Amino acid sequence: MSAIVTLKKGEGRTVKAGGMWIFDNEIDTVTGSFENGDIVIVHDFDGFPMGRGFINQNSKIRIRMMTRCTDQEIDREFLRMRLQRAWDYRRATVDTASCRVIFGEADFLPGFVADKYEDVLVVQCLALGMEQFKNTIVELLKEILAEDGVYIRGIYERSDANERKKEGLPKVKGFIGGEFDTNVEITENGVRYLVDVVNGQKTGFFLDQKYNRLAMQRICKGKRVLDCFTHMGTFALNAGIAGAEDVTGLDISQFALDQAAENARRNGLEERVHFRCVNVLDELPRLLAAGERFDVVILDPPAFTKSREATKNAIRGYREINREGLKLVKSGGFLATCSCSHFMTQELFAKTIREAARSAHRRLRQVEFRTQSPDHPILWAADESYYLKFYIFQVCEEQ
């Protein structure tokens, strides 16, 4: 018999609105015995059944919900149903050649991520309760894809994120099943990349910007482009493939830039797309002082904050790079700017850009606002699933 968790009166608002998490301070009592990672039944303060999820006393996220049905067994058939629905959703919404197949809470499989790079899967398990299901999920995912004519030649695990420590789990990295060549060539938006699933960031590649990169192709033809925090050169290469006249990519990681340069060669763009290893925050004022100006400036920084407490410092960082980036855009040119931090809300990010534009004496005309690719769906009420904010502006002088 599963243990029963009863919430305090007035708590559980996020779960009741459709979210997936119950925090430690929302719980009143736990009746029955359990071990961390076990599935438990959740009741509201008055005994009303709210569903089932797995519990972990090591984490402030005490329970991650798996189902709203208290009599639903979390078994192989249940997992197959969740995985099939996730795959069907991707087939309906995105190019599935390379895409995120499972996005944790947003696919009702909390703490589990699976990315498909052509015929390779990279999986990441960040929650103790999902560890017991990991191998079954991998087997079922291979079966479901094979039924659709997609055959996976290898699976690699990248459960090496710091979030594992909060769950009381060790970091894990390595092959699931047989070894294979972990340098995988993919094609996205007509651009070819070599993805290193072992050493690349996260699971090897940032799939979430796929359609934002495509959106930039429309405005980069014939332009001089500056791509800041270029990492593997993804925005720079999309600009190049679209016919940009000259593209410069800046990043502080020489390892990432070596990959970017290789990707430029792979696409025959090495004559027009160049990369420099610099600290972007130092380089932007230097370019301004040197009289450099660009038709398009792209700002795709890493998350400046991963906690609510560090948000103030993040605001200063975003304001600074947007101010300096704006100064480098020719009048009538374009700025693309984004934040990948969940804690930097859309409203806060917009306010920060507005302040940067005022400080730089530039006027902004919004072209469009975008978020993460649909294979990283945003589950309403699960705020953690909404993290990427992406603006494209035309930049005008204040005249």
CA distance 168 to 303: 24
CA distance 109 to 44: 22
At residue 61, what is the residue type? I
Q: Which residues of 96-112 are buried (b: 16+ CB within 10 A; e: fewer)?
A: bebbbbbbbbbbbbbbb
For residues 382 and 106, the answer to whether their CB atoms sit within 8 Å is yes
Q: Identify which of 297, 313, 293 has the alpha carbon closest to the alpha carbon of residue 305.
A: 313
Rg (CA), the chain: 23
For residues 353 and 317, the answer to whether their CB atoms sit within 8 Å is no
Identified catalytic residue from 99, 228, 338, 340: 340
CA distance 284 to 287: 5
The DSSP secondary structure of 121-145, one letter per residue, reads: EEEEE--HHHHTTHHHHHHHHHHHH
Q: Give whole-number Cα distances, 48 to 3, 42, 60, 68, 395, in Å.
A: 15, 9, 23, 12, 55
At residue 392, what is the residue type? I
* Both structure tokens of 333: 């040119």
Q: Identify which of 223, 188, 221 has the alpha carbon closest to the alpha carbon of residue 205.
A: 188
Q: Identify which of 75, 119, 123 has the alpha carbon closest to the alpha carbon of residue 103.
A: 123
For residues 203 and 249, the answer to whether their CB atoms sit within 8 Å is no
Is 277 annotated in the active site? no
**What are the residue numbers of the active site?**
340
